[in-house]
Chains A and B, each alone.
Chain A
Amino acid sequence: MTDLGALAPPVVLEAVSHRYGALVALDDVGLRFAAGGATAVIGPDGVGKSTLLGLLVGVRRLQRGRITVFGGDMGERAVRDAVAPRVAYMPQGLGRNLYPSLSVAENVDFHARLFGLDAAARAARIERLLAATGLDPFADRLAGQLSGGMKQKLSLCCALVHDPDLLVLDEPTTGVDPLSRRQFWDLIDDIRRSRPAMTVIVATAYMDEAGRFDRVVAISDGRVVADGTVAEILAKTGAATLEEAWRSLGRAPGEAPPPPFAMPPRAAGAGGVAIEAEGLTRRFGAFTAVDHVSFRIETGEIFGFLGSNGCGKTTTMKMLTGLLSIDEGSATLLGRPVDAADLAVRLRVGYVSQSFSLWEELSVRANLVLHARLYRVEEARVAGLVAESLTRFDLVDHADDLPGRLPLGIRQRLQLAAACLHRPEVLILDEPTSGVDPQARDDFWRHLAKLSRDDGVTIFVSTHFMNEAERCDRISLMHRGRVLAIGAPADLTREAGAASLEEAFVRRLEEAGEGAAAPPRDPATQPDAVAPPVAARGLAASAGLVWAFARREGLEILRDRVRLGFAVFGSLLLLVLFAFGVSFDVENLPFAVFDRDGSIESARFVETFRGSRYFVERAPVASDAEIDRRLTSGELRFVVNLPPDFGADLLAGRRPEVGVAIDGANTFRAETVKAYLQGVVLAWASRVAADTAGPGASLALPFDLRTRLAYNQAFVSVDAITPGVIMLLLVLIPSAMTAVGVAREREIGSIANFEASPASVVEFLVGKQLPYVAVGLTSFATLAIAARFGFGVPIHGSLAALVVGATLYVFAATAFGLLVSTLVRTQVAAIMAAAILSVIPTINFSGFINPMSSIEGAARWMGLLFPASWFQTIAVGSFAKGVGFFDLIDCDLALFAFGVVFIAAAALVLNKQEA
């Protein structure tokens, strides 16, 4: 082992500042992190910690200052790309770098591919990491089905798969139960032991966790307020614990830290029962989430729920609020059986869900006002109550901010404020302090204490924090859907013969058979003979990255049967509908006759219309007013109006005038009626001529126009329309599929994987695109086969031209979707934009219905600047016309150019770094 101390520090920050609008996240921060050191970054909720970590792995764009990682300046893109393979980053949030529809092994495999590991190395690392984290029995389980603790272990496996020299974890244990947390940190310790040169930087909200690290850096208001070993910090602040020390940090000298919070004792039993559950059971399929749970919560009591992730706490709470139905057992709330339809009970209950669930697009004040009104507060009192609530929960300074921009602690306060606004008698709080810093948690509990002790509100709260559980009057330990024990925290500790509640809890869980599954195995196998992946980037490496993204995206689509089904079979169904439905065949035009003559001649004239398959006769018309009415109602397309004495005039050669009133609402149809009318009258006239002048005679036409219908002799719409329908479907559906792609990753947060990887924007985009090109081509094959063999639409031209054209077309369409996706912020906007922007040029300006030659002006340009019109030429040319491959080469080139330009534009828009 080299002498680590002699090496330059791998991470150096100099005068780093970062702001979001007016909000200062970091203010002139300078820090050095030594090789092999482990540092905890603590600080109040806000943006400081995450911003710091994001900057040093290069996921965020550096605004001011200088960051050097492994000797390279992170302000330069080349350096970031070169450094990426040596850095691992796990973003904040439970399983945010995981893909829920991929299995445990597939998730790790994806991350390994991102860093260019070959097959043998991948297999070896996956096996070793899963064994070390105790996840190996679950290698094939989908990540979405894992508990929170397991998710975080899996995230860690993903982060570690490329043997990083720098490991950066952003609040990795937030929302994870104590036992899993303990296992997680043991795992990190083992890994550090096996890779002593690895530098570890972790942000955490748990002070007991920070105590495990060599060094603690505290950040408050964007500045470093303490930096040193735990002992140094304790000495400096004169505090006994880090949690206590935390309270005094970042305060002006002389200002007294707020006293640690102590729960005032509960006044002796007032009596009544607020919540009672008896044998409560809920199943999701074969899985029993809550298994015969019984408890009773007294009025005014603070009742805590403590348990591992996925043990059924949330499900139980949701059943009590009526959000989930109860499969078995019973529950009463405020003396009434739980009933989802009982609005009166909802007025007396407040609920705070696990994740932030207020409207991010409404300001803090607007959220509270909406709550007050929906909870039927008298209008006159709304303003006062909201003002009071803002003061009470210390939200006055943020009243006009949007919650999305506020730190977690303040958002949780807002949730509590909203839940308390209508003075509920019962509060149900599902992990309300998850991820909230100690100071803010204390504040939060002060509010709870006031509500419980002063106002007599019953509080039912779930938590992962032991010191919070200790503040409850009674707690219930839950595990795998069952209640293990209920009682006062002190009693439970004593009964278990443990020194602390945490120990009692862990012991209970281990008794229940949980701990055995987890011990990390043989950390000695960790050291690695394999050299770290090389950063050299050739074409092969690039292809590998594209394939990594493509493979992952492909697996996700394959798992989503609904999407796949709609993409392929939905298209097929639409082909059938449109090929037969979008029809210009003139058939069954409804018409009626107003025959004021009633002679044999008039009857014979009308007969010609009846004999035609183009027309269907409706009940005759009896008056002029009726013509008006029946045309106006849309019943008739035209009315033939025969004058009185039609027969007599005709025989006398006086050329009677026949009026035809045509409905002009649909202009195309009106033109058609006119044209067909001409044909019918000519046919009738020829027959009349023959009848009167004898056989052989006919109208004296100067020439004989012989019309030949090329490409579609039968003049049936289905042959002419089908290629166009394929054109339509191959752009609308593939572009919609890719349009959500980037926007969704951004909304969910998994885009951080890409941001922290050595992959380039183009590799990411093309990788995401390929599976959809494959889906599009599958769809194309299905449609083409159905058209050819199902509907008997012949392919006169070159099949090769059709296939090549379709491939390029799908490539261009998916690239268009990706471009849209990078331009918008939300999935909703992505879907809307893709649909609206593609539908109009595709249906109207592509030659699908109207020939390109008759489209003018801006519309023509719109058509030419969208791929649809080019593929329409290829599709019609190949199906109906027998055009050769090389005659369509200009269309192929155009489509290819569209794809390349769209991808290039998307690559320019999409920034690998966040602001």
Chain B
Amino acid sequence: MRRFLANLFRLGVKELASLRHDPMMLFLIFYAFSAAVVFVSSGVKLEVSNAAIAVVDQDRSELSTRMIDAFTPPFFRKPALIDASEVDRAMDVGRFGFVLHIPPSFEADVLRGRAPGLGLTVDATVMVQAGNGAAYIQSILLQEAAAWLHSKGIEAQLPIAVVPRVWFNPNVEGRWFSSIMQLVNSIVILSILLVGAAVIREREHGTIEHLLVMPVTAFEIALAKILANGAVLLLAVLLSMELVVRGLLGVPIAGSRALFLFGTTIFLFSTTALGILIATLARSMPQFALMAIPVFTTMLLLSGNMTPLESMPKILQWAMHVSPSVYFVQFSQGVLYRGAGLDIVWPQLLVMTGLGAVFLAWATHRFHLMLAQSA
């Protein structure tokens, strides 16, 4: 056992020395955990924000003007007034996500209580904004109309008072969500590529063969790669979490950061093992690249990170459960936003460990086969 640990340590130190000699790689790791997180969290808005809206105002009344003025930043840009003939073209090229059509004598009809029609055209190709944006527009318009009429708002007419309260992120700040989302994405991409490419490089340079005539086992070689590269990424995650996410972006972390790092360690174990597995299936670096891309893009897009798992078709939801990232997303959202403790997230940790063990066992097995074929 002591021998085993000593070998792991020595091989691990060797991995770190290799990494140290590649400044490009260090730069990419740095970028992925710093600037990339900042760009994504400050640039990406999943909530309705700065939505481009245009109005065709054929009424030109006090009410219509008031309604138009109600669209203000940060949710909407200042509405553009356009002519009815321009609508199609402007929507086609994506200048506006929403076009509001106020018909002639709208104000007069409202005053007479005729409930006149009001047209809203929504660019439904922009899924994230279309639904929520339309709901915003409706509620803004209702509010304005009620205020103008000095009548009770629609809310007040309801027989109940609905009091929605958003937990864990009361002001619904997207930054909180997207910064962690990018952190998870960076972990996925780097862990798979870094370790997998390290295996292929050793094979292409013949050093892996050299290792195998030494008194070390294939298992030790694979595990040392996992531990060394995993440790580098873990350190990067820790620094990114403290300095970038909490420090620079000021995102509050609800749960235990120690628990998060522990879960990250387990997740890194499973993804690095997966990286080795892919490397043993590829015969050259170009092949590895083409095999790794589908794996990590699937993990990025379908883990419930970008879009919720429950929106996916059942069969896909079921299939994605072999991906450790699904559990890591659940785990990190639980711990970081909702302050979940070990009592709540232990199942995710358990499954990630299990998946990692399966990947590692499979990878070690493939490792032997790969060496037998390559020689």
Contacts and interface: CB of A to CB of B under 8 A. Distances in A.
Interface string B305-322: 011101111001000100
B247 interface: no
Interface stretch (B199-207, B233-241, B258-266): B199-207
Contacts of A663: 166-168, 338
Interface stretch (A166-174, A292-300, A840-848): A840-848
A708 B302 CA distance: 30
B43 A845 contact: yes
B47 interface: yes
Interface in B103-119: 106, 109-110, 113, 115-119
Interface string A326-361: 000000000000000101101101010101111111
B287 A562 contact: yes
B18 A361 contact: yes
A560 interface: yes
A832 B117 CA distance: 55
Contact of A710 (B51, B106, B123, B307): B123
B298 interface: yes
B115 A702 contact: yes
Most buried by B among A353, A664, A824: A664
A744 interface: yes
Given A375-B215, A650-B160, A677-B164, A876 B312 contact: no
B216 A858 contact: no
Contact of A850 (B128, B130, B162, B210): B128
Interface in B172-212: 172-174, 176-177, 182, 185-186, 189-190, 193-194, 197-198, 200-201, 204-207, 209-210, 212
B290 A737 contact: yes
Nearest to A660: B164
A853 B77 contact: yes
Given A374-B7, A629-B344, A701 B154 contact: yes
A358 B24 contact: no
B161 A632 contact: no
B165 to A, nearest CB: 6
B44 interface: yes
Contacts of A353: 206, 209-210
B159 A655 contact: yes
Contact of B160 (A344, A658, A732): A658
A721 B366 CA distance: 37
A860 to B, nearest CB: 7
Contact of B40 (A315, A344, A732, A840): A840
Contacts of B302: 577-578, 581-582
B45 A850 contact: yes
A881 B92 contact: yes
Contacts of A857: 42-43
A674 B132 CA distance: 9
A671 B47 contact: yes
A829 B24 contact: yes
Contacts of A697: none
Interface string A836-872: 1001100111010111111111111011000000000
Given A325-B372, A629-B344, A702-B115, A740 B213 contact: no
Interface string B22-59: 10110010011000100110111111111110000000
Nearest to B332: A665
Interface in B262-313: 282-283, 285-294, 296-298, 300-302, 306-308, 310-313
A824 B23 CA distance: 10
Contact of B122 (A700, A708, A854, A887): A708
Interface residues of A, number: 157
B14 A346 contact: no
B50 to A, nearest CB: 5
A605 B132 CA distance: 23
B42 to A, nearest CB: 6
A873 B94 contact: yes
A839 to B, nearest CB: 6
A831 B288 contact: yes
Contact of B293 (A657, A662, A835): A835
Nearest to B335: A632
Most chain B C-beta atoms within 10 Å of own C-beta, residue among A574, A710, A827: A710
Nearest to A739: B289
A300 B347 CA distance: 60
A670 B337 CA distance: 13
A566 B209 contact: no
A709 interface: yes
Interface in A677-711: 677-679, 681-682, 685, 688, 699-711
B135 interface: yes
B110 A703 contact: yes
A525 interface: no
Interface in B314-369: 316, 320, 330, 333-334, 337-340, 344
A513 interface: no
B42 A566 contact: no
B213 A560 contact: no
Given A660-B162, A704-B116, A706-B118, A582 B286 contact: no
A883 B123 CA distance: 13
B78 to A, nearest CB: 13
Contact of B283 (A351, A562, A670, A853): A562
B28 A570 contact: no
A125 to B, nearest CB: 31
Given A713-B124, A849-B306, A585 B311 contact: yes
Contacts of A839: 185, 189, 297, 300
A355 to B, nearest CB: 5
B43 A655 contact: no
B149 interface: yes
A649 B94 CA distance: 48
With most chain B CB atoms within 10 A of its CB, the pick from A355, A675, A737, A826 is A675
Nearest to B290: A566
A574 B298 contact: yes
A728 B283 CA distance: 26
Interface stretch (A437-445, A587-595, A900-908): A587-595
Contacts of A371: 214
B84 interface: no
Contact of A675 (B128, B131, B174, B313): B131
B295 to A, nearest CB: 10
A322 interface: yes
Given A701-B154, A737-B290, A853 B207 contact: no
B44 A850 contact: yes
Nearest to B255: A632
Given A357-B205, A711-B124, A831 B300 contact: no
A631 B338 contact: yes
Interface string A809-840: 00000000000000011111101111110011
Contacts of B168: 631, 663-665
Residue among A577, A682, A737 with the most chain B CB within 10 A? A577
A653 B161 CA distance: 11
Interface in A722-774: 723, 728, 732-733, 736-737, 739-740, 744, 747
B118 A664 contact: no
Given A580-B312, A702-B115, A678 B135 contact: yes
A187 B141 CA distance: 90
A657 B146 contact: no
A828 B310 contact: no
A323 B212 contact: yes
Contacts of A577: 298, 302, 316
Q: Which 7 A-B pairs have the closest CB atoms?
A: A859-B43, A675-B135, A664-B169, A712-B124, A668-B46, A584-B127, A357-B206
Given A675-B136, A681-B162, A851-B128, 16 more contacts: A361-B20, A361-B21, A562-B290, A574-B298, A583-B307, A584-B128, A629-B344, A634-B333, A667-B172, A668-B132, A699-B158, A721-B127, A828-B200, A831-B288, A845-B39, A876-B94
11 contacts: A353-B209, A581-B316, A634-B340, A685-B158, A711-B91, A737-B289, A828-B25, A828-B201, A851-B94, A853-B77, A876-B125
